[in-house]
Amino acid sequence: MLKNFSDIENLVIVNTCCVTKEAEIKSLRKFRQSLKRYPNSKIIATGCACRVYPEKFSAAYQVIDNVQRNSIIKGIFPDPGKARFFLKIEDGCNEKCTYCIVSKVRNKIESKTIDNIKEEIYWAISLGYKEIVLVGANIGLYGVDRGLHLIDLLQALKGIPDLPRIRLSSVEPKFIDAELIQCLKDLPVCRHFHIPIQSADDNILSRMRRGYDAAHLKRSLDLINRNFDDVAIGGDVIVGFPGEGEKEFLNTYKFIESNSFTHLHIFPYSPRPGTEAYDLGDSVVREEKRRRLWELKNLIADKNYQFRKNLLGKTFNIIVETNADIISGLTDNYIRVEVNGDYDKNTLIKIKINEVSKNKTYGSI
């Protein structure tokens, strides 16, 4: 990026997303804000929303097609001020989920080589990062373009000296099996899984073409719980998918209630032109989607509170972050803990959780 635009003094890059309607609106808003806020800069728009709706970004100095994105991203350095190093291991997904636009706009899987990933990890270690987050459009597909598997990559990380803790960004349920879990146990891996379950009703899962059912989800969760203590399990859920009536919603609600979820990202379904599900219509009205969203939000808030209360008196490592006067950090199992004291940013400190409220967790060194 820097090389391509070295003659431009003031450059603003807006990286856009269209995975949901909301993401697309936010991308467009950021783009328009950038035009206003930086009138003397050259604004470059890139990313998926530009690929699908280039006309909306026509006021940009240049719109860079999403296909060229990988070569662009290589030039962008991470911010060493951040506590976590986000390492993109692959891009693209060729699954056929009916609601998703990603497989339409980024269906070519491109994985970094294991050597390149190791190089980036050595670099992150040299910069002092204490946590590396492996990210991608669908990291379970890592390596399919190279005859490799995510497990090959994880195995290759084992020998790295001073390897910081590793967090997986999000893993599709179909990739969670005994082999993956065993491999993770041999690494300094965070006890935190984020699983995009989307629903726990078999009919809805089939209409979404997710390739698993509720029984599979249950087996995956049990496997994780058997192998990791105090593990945080997050999930993505879509409410109001076409055909989701009260019965189907309750199946999802009860599944979440009876399993050890600790965090949820809940999205009201929005039909995306160009997806297969678009033709199914939008049968659930907005108010009903909001009701379901809030029911799940309240449920997960209670479950998260309970989860944190069970951790009282236990010790964890956090990576110090500072924000105004507050010093806080994330535990490996994804609890943000606030602590009193004077600690350097990006240091790893051991804390004990000694107070938990509905929204906050406090600890001491």
Give DSSP secondary structure letters for 37-54: H-TTSEEEEEEHHHHH-G
Q: Which stretch binds ligand SF4 (CB under 6 A): 96-104, 110-118, 224-232, 350-358?
A: 96-104
- Which of these ranges, 80-88, 94-102, 179-187, 246-254, lies near ligand SF4 under the rule CB under 6 A? 94-102
Query: In angstroms, rounded to a whole number, what is the distance separating the alpha carbons of residues 170 and 102?
Result: 15
Q: Identify residues 151-180 at the interface with ligand SF4 (CB under 6 A).
A: 172
For ligand SF4, which residue of 138, 251, 304, 361 counts as binding (CB under 6 A)?
138
91 is an interface residue for ligand SF4 by CB under 6 A: no
> Helix or strand or coil: residue 126?
helix
Q: Does 48 bind ligand SF4 (CB under 6 A)?
A: no
Residues contacting ligand SF4: total by CB under 6 A: 9
Closest CA to 335 of 354, 323, 137, 345: 354
- φ, ψ of residue 244 in degrees (nearest 5): -80, 100
Does 109 bind ligand SF4 (CB under 6 A)? Our answer is: no
In the complex, minimum distance from the CB of residue 65 to ligand SF4, in angstroms, rounded to a whole number = 19
Q: Rounded to 5, what percent of the chain is helix, strand, coil? A: 40, 25, 40
In angstroms, what CA-CA distances link 234 with 8, 27, 93, 260?
Answer: 42, 25, 21, 9
Applying CB under 6 A, the span of 93-101, 226-234, 292-300, 320-328 interacting with ligand SF4 comes to 93-101
List 93, 124, 171, 339, residue binding ligand SF4 (CB under 6 A): 93
**Which one, 95 or 282, has the nearer CB to ligand SF4?**
95
Question: Which residue spans within 115-174 are E strands per DSSP?
Answer: 131-136, 165-168
- Residue 102 in the binding site for ligand SF4 (CB under 6 A): yes
| Residue selected from 62, 70, 103, 227 as contacting ligand SF4 according to rule CB under 6 A | 103
| 88 CA to centre of own chain | 11
270 belongs to the binding site for ligand SF4 (CB under 6 A): no
Structure tokens at 311: 């951790």
- Residue 237's nearest CA partner among 287, 188, 207, 197 is 197
Q: Which of 48, 97, 157, 339 binds ligand SF4 (CB under 6 A)?
A: 97
Asked whether position 276 contacts ligand SF4 by CB under 6 A, the answer is no
Residue 205 binding ligand SF4, by CB under 6 A: no
Give contact residues for ligand SF4 (rule: CB under 6 A): 93, 95, 97, 100, 102-103, 137-138, 172
